[in-house]
């Protein structure tokens, strides 16, 4: 009897507990999935071996504009100093960058005036020092394959120009030196991209435009790169940079600059 009673209780318990055991435990069913960890930041410090040719048209005060066009190999003979470095940080969603280009050079120039004018027989020696600092940030655009990263970027390009102009007339012995320092900042917007072909080969690119009422600028860069190690990479490509600025003073004169630099670029990058 006792055994029969125990067996009956066991059977009743199994009948009522069956649906409970078959159901998912509420705690397991309602527990949220853990959010994926955000992509880590990756940093790149780059030394850029840019080899540009220079076309510049500049003037200041009441002087006429002076022009100079210098190929790269000629530029090397007149180059006093050059510092081209950049720093980039990126993750799966964002990018930030800082690019510095400092150069100082000297060149012969000629005035854009007709013969017979007061400056028609005057030679000019142009010494140009420039600091170009570009900073930007951007967000990734969800486009293309996972190995293709396209970022919309916005930032500022700051330019400081120190310009000296030496005038001389061989016949009369006339000689004068003039100098000016100007700086300005232009907002920029554009696109930056990286496409990884495999673990070794990749391509980088960037294009931006910008300016204000008295200035304008644009830049284009494209390169093919190779990862020698997980921390060392190099690229070979082409860069072009345009600057325009005009500022008037209180004496009826103005500072004027039209400049284009373009040429091949090879770089080496340290990743960390």
Residue, of 165 and 24, whose pLDDT is higher: 165
DSSP SS3 for 3: helix
CA dihedral of 90, 101, 111, 176, whole degrees rounded to 10: 150
pLDDT, position 203: 98
Residues counted in the chain: 272
Residues 63-78: pLDDT tens digits?
A: 667 777 777 777 777 7
Q: What are the domain boundaries of the chain?
A: 41-271
* Mean pLDDT of the 51-61 span: 81
| Mean pLDDT estimate for the chain | 79
Question: 133 vs 53, 141, 156, 183, 251, CA distance in Å?
Answer: 19, 25, 8, 11, 30
Residue, of 54 and 267, whose pLDDT is higher: 267
Give the pLDDT band of residue 140 (cuts 50, 70, 90): very high
Q: In CATH, which of 1.10.1300.10, 3.10.20.30, 2.40.128.90, 3.30.70.260 is domain 41-271?
A: 2.40.128.90
Q: From the centroid of its chain, how far is CA 271? A: 17
**pTM across the whole model:** 0.75
Query: CB within 8 A of 26, min separation 6: which ones?
Result: none
Between 72-76, 144-148, 188-192, the lowest mean confidence (pLDDT) is in 72-76
Residues 248-267: pLDDT tens digits?
A: 765 556 788 899 999 999 99
């Amino acid at each position: 009897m006792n055994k029969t009673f125990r067996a009956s209780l066991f059977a009743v318990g199994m009948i009522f507990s069956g649906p409970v055991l078959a159901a998912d435990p509420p705690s397991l069913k309602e527990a949220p999935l853990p959010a994926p960890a955000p992509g880590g930041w990756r940093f790149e410090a780059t030394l850029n071996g840019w080899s540009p040719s220079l076309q510049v048209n500049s003037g200041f005060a009441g002087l006429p504009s002076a022009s100079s066009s210098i190929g790269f190999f000629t530029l090397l003979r007149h180059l006093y100093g050059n510092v081209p470095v950049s720093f980039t940080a990126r993750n799966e969603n964002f990018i930030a960058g800082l690019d510095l280009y400092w150069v100082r050079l000297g060149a012969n120039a000629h005035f854009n005036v007709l013969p017979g004018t007061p400056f028609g027989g005057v030679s000019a020696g142009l010494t140009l020092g420039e600091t170009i600092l570009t900073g930007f940030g951007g967000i990734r655009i969800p486009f293309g394959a996972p190995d293709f990263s396209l970022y919309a970027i916005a930032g500022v390009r700051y330019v400081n120009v120190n310009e000296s102009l030496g005038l001389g007339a061989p016949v009369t012995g006339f000689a004068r030196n003039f100098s000016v320092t100007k700086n300005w900042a232009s907002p920029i917007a554009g696109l930056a991209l990286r496409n990884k072909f495999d673990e070794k080969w990749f391509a980088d690119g960037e294009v931006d435009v910008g300016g204000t009422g008295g200035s304008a600028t644009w830049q284009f860069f494209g390169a093919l790169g190779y990862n020698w190690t997980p921390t060392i990479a190099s690229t070979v490509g082409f860069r072009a940079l345009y600057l325009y600025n005009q500022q008037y003073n209180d004496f009826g004169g103005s500072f004027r600059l039209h400049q284009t630099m373009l040429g091949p670029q090879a770089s080496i990058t340290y990743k960390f």
